[in-house]
Amino acid sequence: MAVSKGALEGVKVLDLTRILAGPTCTQLLGDLGASVLKIENPGTDGDDTRQWGPPYVTDAEGNPSDLSAYFMSANRNKRSVAIDITTTKGQDIIRQLAAQADILVENFKPGGLAKYGLDFDTLSNELPGLVYCSISGYGQTGPNASKPGYDLMAQGYGGIMSLTGDPEGAPMKVGVGIADVMCGMYATVGILAALRHAERTGEGQQIDIALVDSQVAWLINEGTNYLTSNTLPQRRGNGHPNIVPYDVYETKDGHVILAVGNDTQFRRFCDFIGLDSLPDAPEYATNPARLENRDSLNAQLRPAIAQRTTSEVIAGLEARKVPVGPVQTLDQVFDSAQVEARGMKIPMQTDPGAVHLIGNPLNLSRTPVTYRRPPPTFGADTESVLQAQNPFED
């Protein structure tokens, strides 16, 4: 069987994005085989995240490069082309590249590209088959459309911070830029749907995707809990709003995660920790009852679990088919046999030096993802791309 270059081999992506949501989207397209040209502003030395360090990749003499770890997290499988779109020459180059592209992705403020003639309305008149994805904080419409968008803002405005953190503490953001990442993933899904339509009909379209909309969408059960009950959910730390016990519990030497999803598992769990009478008590016999009596139940579970080590709890509950797991630090994560087996830590060779990056979680049996290009230094491909007869040839 011939080696595949990816399901999106031959698809050409013009990437006018920076920071995280847009680059996450275009990196995913690149991993799937698309050829991605990342346009960077020479006036700012490229994508803002090139300066979001340390850490940076250093050269043989120990000098830092413009490859910050943050930048590298979302910019492999791309070529960097330095173009000043504020100039007439730069705008002409972008139009020429767009004319050869299948997809254009941008994350300027709504209306921000119109003054350069690079907005959807202008380009779609010239290029009716172009799939044009616009990523912004609040979307292209609505009273907040003109406001800037950052991940922390989206997590606050979209409600996830009101659900996250210790019940007695302050609202808390998720530990990484998850609103950006999820927006980038939704954008990718929208692009692939629009690309399918364009391939069938020759008709391009605009995808309007917002950080805040994406974050609201993944409120999932807690959002629907509120819409169904009109009752504001409470912060519960690591506790689950609809299942008990489903939380992080302290052990003799650390912490362990329990995810007891049904009454049969609860009975086996209680047998292990020596509280086998609990499942027969009416206040704990069913999940709705345990939800109603969450505090009194945890008051009995926590001391019993704290008498055992983490390894003892995990081994005992795994033997009883009760969902359980550790709380790992990142060194434990990336040193684990599971991460190695699944290819979630990948080596790449950048111009300054060797690095490890996080792998793509998609495993396609016939068109696997590929890691063809390391994250580029700023403008590394400008000359070769602009002089090429086929600039998207990867």
Catalytic residue ranges: 180
339 Cβ contact partners less than 8 Å away, ≥ 6 residues apart? 333, 345
Q: Cα–Cα distance between 222 and 342 in angstroms, integer? A: 31
CA geometry: angle 153, 154, 158, nearest 5 deg: 120
Q: Cα–Cα distance between 248 and 242 in angstroms, integer? A: 15
Asked if 14 and 98 touch (Cβ cutoff 8 Å), the reply is yes
Beta strand spans in the chain (E): 12-16, 35-40, 56-58, 64-68, 79-82, 103-106, 131-136, 205-210, 246-250, 255-259, 324-326, 345-349, 354-358
Angstrom distances, CA of residue 101 to CA of 10, 12, 75, 233, 385: 10, 5, 19, 46, 13
AA identity, residue 268 = R
Q: Cα–Cα distance between 211 and 136 in angstroms, integer? A: 6
Torsions phi, psi of 79, nearest 5?
Answer: -115, 140
Asked if 366 and 72 touch (Cβ cutoff 8 Å), the reply is no
Give the rounded distance of the alpha carbon of 296 from its chain centre: 37
The DSSP code for 74 is: T
